[in-house]
Amino acid sequence: DAGVIQSPRHEVTEMGQEVTLRCKPISGHNSLFWYRQTMMRGLELLIYFNNNVPIDDSGMPEDRFSAKMPNASFSTLKIQPSEPRDSAVYFCASSPGGPSYEQYFGPGTRLTVT
Amino acid sequence: DAKTTQPPSMDCAEGRAANLPCNHSTISGNEYVYWYRQIHSQGPQYIIHGLKNNETNEMASLIITEDRKSSTLILPHATLRDTAVYYCIVRVRNAGNMLTFGGGTRLMVKP
């Protein structure tokens, strides 16, 4: 199994630009999670999908952030417009049975907004 | 959800067993103990989980005390590649319950 795939691995963009992060979960997993990690705040859950439906987006910081999961094998996290404080590593994870089951994380996307 | 307490850091000699403790004195009967780790610049990695019985897999062993108020993750022969932050998480195993990563224990394996 290829594991969770994320792209791009690194993204550098200017403030105000739109950023789209992509994730392909492990085949057969029915839950997908987006996390953000910074030195100041640690690892934070942004949003959780179950069977392609957003279940909990209470961690999404503000309206500039949006996430979609059009099918079981693809999800996007979009930031529009981006700000320097959005600079972080964004992880996608998938799980075979829900958030309290073992989660398998991707390698992350390091986002830098200048 | 039960709160967990872990030491902020530990050292271990390469080749020796690393024993990472976790206190979860308020754990309830249906809460599982999960361990994850995060190696620098990588995503968190699931290690093991258990409810009451001790568990072992190819990565580690999990020892849970009889009263379930504490547990220990054991890496039997630590290598330099095991240097990471280790997270102990207590959660009910159902679809609606989120995992929350706390501060963890930073394990440094030294040659």
| Tens-place pLDDT, residues A24-61 | 999 999 999 999 999 888 888 999 999 999 988 888 98
Chosen for mutation from A101, A109, A110 (greatest number of chain B CBs closer than 10 Å) is: A101
Joined tokens for residue A74: 């693809």
- CA angle centred on A43, ends B56 and B24, rounded to 5°: 50
Measured between beta carbons, the chain A residues lying within 8 angstroms of B51 are: none
| Tens-place pLDDT, residues A63-85 | 999 999 999 999 999 999 999 99
Rounded Cα gap, residues B52 and B56, in angstroms:
13
Cross-chain residue pair A108–B44, CB shorter than 8 Å = no
| Tens-place pLDDT, residues B41-80 | 899 999 999 999 899 999 999 999 999 999 999 999 999 9
Chosen for mutation from B42, B47, B99, B101 (greatest number of chain A CBs closer than 10 Å) is: B99
Rounded Cα gap, residues B109 and A72, in angstroms:
39
Measured between beta carbons, the chain A residues lying within 8 angstroms of B46 are: 102-104
Cross-chain residue pair B45–A42, CB shorter than 8 Å = no
Task: Tell me the shortest Cα–Cα distance from A87 to chain B, in angstroms.
Answer: 15
Rounded Cα gap, residues A89 and A101, in angstroms:
23
Of A55, A102, A106, the CB nearest to B43: A106
Q: Where on the phi/psi map is residue A72: left (φ > 0), alpha (ψ -120 to 50), or beta?
A: alpha
Give the rounded percent of residues in chain B with a pLDDT score beyond 70.
94
Of B43, B93, B103, the CB nearest to A101: B93
